[in-house]
Amino acid sequence: MRHPEILQKAKTAFLVVDIQEKLIPAISIYPKLEPCILRMIKVAAELGITTLLTEQYPKGLGSTLPSIKEALPSYEPIEKNTFSCCGVDIIQQKLEEARAEAVVLVGVEAHVCVQQTALDLLAAGFRVHVPADAVASQRKFDWQIAIERMRQAGAIISTGQSIIFELLVEAGTPEFKAVLPLLKDK
């Protein structure tokens, strides 16, 4: 028997939050996070895990970064004006269609959209996993407090690699061999 907090690919969805052209330049640490985010998106695609993408007020903040668009199996942004992704009904609907019990959140800003989404998903009964190396804020202090607040509320804080290995379960499988090149640091 596995611990109930360990992710299972059949019951997990990924949510990529607001990684947009006009927002990212203000987040100086983003270049260090992008490889982890891209790796997670590609592994989710390889494992057949539903990945949803949001864009906060795209008229003002622009579109999703090209590197993220290219990593996704399909580019189907869900536009929102609310800070929480859960303010858009289609998010809950798509998570239910995916039979998700757990949601992995990546993106920005950790203390605004990611945090509010995490809290709302927890309130809706989802287990929420936040890889600390795949979320960011403009200011480090905001990121630190957001990570702590999400943890206190019940979100599971870990790393991108930890999440990937939970979903893979074991080495030597065809899935493991398929994603192995993505797991090597570049």
Catalytic positions: 18, 80, 113
Residues 6+ apart with CB under 8 A from 11: 99, 100, 101, 102
* Strands of the chain, DSSP E: 12-17, 50-56, 78-80, 102-108, 127-131, 135-136, 156-158
Q: From CA 104, how far away is CA 36, in angstroms rounded?
A: 13
